[in-house]
């Protein structure tokens, strides 16, 4: 099988999506499957990208850089059309068995120009509409039209599949739920520390609930929080909040870190926290950080939402708190200070049998086609 995956960004983009796409390509490119990842000119070399994303060199994976206008010019503007045009020419010339897409604008362009004999899989990670949110009819209509043009649609959660099967989408394209995957490995046991070492890893935009986490931390004692990820502007705002809450000595902001560097940074973690709220898309989309936390085999604090319980059962080792409630989260953090509870939680998590492995995800993708 030959697959082409166009991604209209300069790599690395330093976000969860580009990490996901690179790993998808790298893990699909096995055996008799060849994958070509199309990305923007100015990306790191194929060897540097493999190192950045902590993947082994792979002769079945080809990375091709095409011209792109992505604020890398004197006018500081972005323009997708040149990249889309060049990607389309590659698809028309090479006529792969499958084109994979996961960006709406790229899907809108290429699915209007489908090449005969080529199948198209669109991977949905987020939508223009979620129940309880305002309905932007024109945007949803365009999205629905785009998804109807695909041969296959994959989603990462049952919640997203349910939305797509009901109005206003009600798409007829075959849909398959294929959970996300991660390639992290279990961490060695941490050495004892005078304070509980709690880690958050991920984006820092509002729905992720890191501000709520800081308010919860202020209601505890003997806990140090390390925050990995985020943009400089977001980090500055949260640092100011931590200062106002008297947490400057109990918080560390480590910024974005390469995936390959994370194991060394987080090895002293006693537990991980995912404080995302129930607002907007957060109750419907998959959260990669939860899967990474599970593979690292440390206790996990997570909001008690259906989207979490979809992937983690009652004996998965997670400690739940009420979403959006800093007092409930503070209570969960205080529970985590019990070493016996941490040990029991870690044991339960270690029994999950790698539920989010790339081998399983790749197998599900190929069985869908």
Burial class (CB in 10 A: 0-12, 13-18, 19+), 4: buried
**CATH architecture classification, 196-350:** 3-Layer(aba) Sandwich (3.40)
Among 252, 271, 255, smallest CA distance to 190 is for 271
Pairwise CA distance, residues 351 & 40, whole Å: 41
pLDDT at 301 > cutoff 70: yes
pLDDT confidence of 324, banded at 50, 70, 90?
A: very high
Q: Give the per-residue pLDDT at 44.
A: 96
Which DSSP state fits 9? S
Pairwise CA distance, residues 355 & 360, whole Å: 8
Which DSSP state fits 222? S
Q: Give the per-residue pLDDT at 315.
A: 73
Q: Give the per-residue pLDDT at 145.
A: 97
pLDDT at 73 > cutoff 90: no
Q: Which two tokens stand for residue 353?
A: 């049998």
pLDDT confidence of 350, banded at 50, 70, 90?
A: confident
pLDDT confidence of 365, banded at 50, 70, 90?
A: very high
Which DSSP string do the residues of 41-101 spell out, in sequence order?
A: TTPPPHHHHHHHTT----TTEEEEEE--EES-STT--EE-HHHHHHHHHHHHHH--SEEEE
Residues contacting 300, CB < 8 A, separation 6+: 271, 272, 273, 274, 290, 293, 294, 317, 318, 319, 345, 349
Q: Which two tokens stand for residue 11?
A: 């790599």
Q: Which two tokens stand for residue 330?
A: 């503070």
Question: If you average pLDDT over residues 119-140, what whole number do you get?
Answer: 95
Question: If you average pLDDT over residues 46-69, what whole number do you get?
Answer: 94
Q: Give the per-residue pLDDT at 293.
A: 93
Q: Which two tokens stand for residue 198?
A: 């709690």
| Ramachandran category for residue 170: left, alpha or beta (phi over 0 → left; psi -120 to 50 → alpha) | left
**Domain residue ranges in the chain:** 2-182+357-368, 196-350
* 160-163 own/partner pairs: CB under 8 Å, 24+ apart: 160/124, 160/127, 160/284, 160/285, 163/127, 163/129, 163/130, 163/131, 163/284
Across 104-113, 176-185, 251-260, 287-296, the highest mean pLDDT is recorded for 104-113
pLDDT at 303 > cutoff 70: yes
CATH topology assigned to domain 2-182+357-368: Rossmann fold (3.40.50)
What mean pLDDT, rounded, does the chain reach? 93
Structure confidence by residue, pLDDT tens digits, 250-264: 999 999 998 888 999
Burial class (CB in 10 A: 0-12, 13-18, 19+), 39: buried
Which DSSP string do the residues of 288-302 spell out, in sequence order?
A: HHHHHHHHHT--EEE
Using an 8 Å Cβ cutoff, are 120 and 101 in contact? yes
Among 126, 123, 115, 108, smallest CA distance to 92 is for 115
* The dihedral formed by the CA atoms of 302, 307, 311 and 314, expressed in degrees to the nearest 10: 60
Structure confidence by residue, pLDDT tens digits, 189-241: 888 888 999 999 999 999 999 999 999 999 999 999 999 999 999 999 999 99
Using an 8 Å Cβ cutoff, are 317 and 346 in contact? yes
Pairwise CA distance, residues 223 & 101, whole Å: 42
């Amino acid at each position: 099988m030959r697959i082409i995956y166009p991604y209209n960004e300069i790599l690395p983009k330093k976000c969860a999506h580009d990490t996901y796409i690179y790993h998808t390509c790298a893990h699909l490119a096995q055996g008799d499957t060849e994958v070509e990842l199309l990305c923007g000119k100015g990306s790191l070399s194929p060897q540097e990208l493999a190192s950045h994303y902590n993947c082994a060199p792979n002769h079945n994976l080809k990375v091709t850089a095409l011209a792109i206008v992505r604020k890398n010019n004197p006018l500081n503007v972005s323009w997708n059309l040149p990249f889309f045009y060049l990607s389309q020419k590659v698809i028309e010339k090479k006529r792969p068995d499958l084109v994979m897409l996961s960006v709406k604008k790229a899907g809108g362009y290429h699915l209007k120009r489908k090449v005969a004999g080529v199948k198209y899989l669109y991977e949905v990670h987020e939508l223009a509409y979620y129940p309880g949110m305002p309905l932007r009819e024109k945007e949803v209509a365009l999205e629905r039209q785009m998804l109807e043009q695909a041969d296959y649609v994959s989603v990462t959660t049952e919640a997203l599949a349910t939305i797509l099967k009901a109005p206003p989408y009600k798409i007829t394209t075959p849909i398959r739920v294929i959970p996300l995957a991660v390639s992290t490995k279990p961490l060695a046991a941490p050495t004892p520390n005078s304070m509980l070492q709690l880690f958050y890893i991920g984006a820092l935009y509002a729905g992720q609930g890191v501000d709520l986490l800081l308010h919860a931390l202020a209601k505890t004692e003997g806990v140090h929080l390390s925050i990995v990820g985020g943009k400089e502007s977001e980090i500055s705002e949260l640092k100011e909040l931590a200062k106002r809450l008297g947490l400057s000595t109990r918080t560390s902001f480590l910024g974005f870190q390469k995936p390959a560097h994370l194991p060394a940074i987080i090895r002293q973690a006693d537990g991980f926290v995912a404080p995302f709220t129930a607002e907007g898309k957060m109750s419907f989309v998959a959260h990669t950080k939860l899967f990474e936390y599970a593979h690292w085999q440390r206790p996990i604090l997570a909001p008690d939402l259906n989207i979490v319980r979809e992937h983690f059962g009652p004996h998965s080792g997670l400690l739940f708190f009420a979403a959006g409630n800093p007092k409930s989260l503070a209570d969960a953090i205080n529970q985590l200070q019990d070493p016996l509870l941490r040990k029991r939680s870690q044991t339960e998590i270690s029994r999950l049998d790698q539920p989010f492995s790339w081998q399983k995800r790749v197998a599900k993708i190929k069985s869908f086609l």
